[in-house]
Amino acid sequence: MSHVAILGATGRAGSRIATELLRRGHTVTGIARNIAQAEARPGLAFKQADATQVDSLAPALRGHDAVISATRFAGGSDAATVIAAARQAGVPRLLVVGGAGSLEVAPGQALVDTPQFPEAYKPEALAGRVFLEALRAEQDLDWTFLSPSALFAPGERTGKFRLGGDRLLTAADGKSWISMEDYAIALADEFEKPAHSHQRFTVGY
């Protein structure tokens, strides 16, 4: 059993990752700026901290085996802050809920740079790419960045999916998607049996 801290544990992806880790017997600490509405469960406790401030975040991370960042990139915590807080806290691993925008759809072309990419999602996608680039420059902390497929929404926990590298995955019907429940399985698998240290990878149907 391991102790895992999750930034954004009350969010859509973060809450499902917490559920997946709990069902596997791990202990989870949810870290959020506002925990008034957060519901503790057996194995899940909450700590109040500001994920954008190293001095606030680092004390909340101490004593954990890993930290999972499931916060938004645009207006949320940046890579430098999370890395610095993890180092200060002595947490050896960082797993990041990434975005699909930085995945390649053709050699050298990212999804976010295609003409059809929705303008409304660009700030988040571009901030996610900056976060990934910062991680790729990080030599010491053991990090992993897991990008979902293009459509990332609540759905079923099937346990049936494919893993990929830097290329956007599409299903036989042309759709690129993954449920948050199956994404949580892939991230929990990576936590338990690391296979993508200092790498970005992706998951989809």
Contact of 10 with 49, CB cutoff 8 Å? no
> CA-CA distance, 184 to 114, in Å (whole number)?
28
pLDDT of residue 37: 79
pLDDT of residue 123: 95
Residue 142 identity (one-letter amino acid)? D
pLDDT of residue 77: 80
Half-sphere exposure (CA, 13 Å, Cβ side) for 100? Answer: 21
pTM for the model: 0.96
pLDDT of residue 39: 84
pLDDT of residue 105: 96
DSSP 179-191: EHHHHHHHHHHHH
Mean pLDDT of residues grouped by 10 in the chain (205 residues)? 94 96 97 85 94 95 97 89 97 97 95 95 96 95 98 97 98 95 98 98 98
pLDDT of residue 159: 97
Burial 13-27 (b: 16+ CB within 10 A, else e): bbbbbbbbbbeeebb
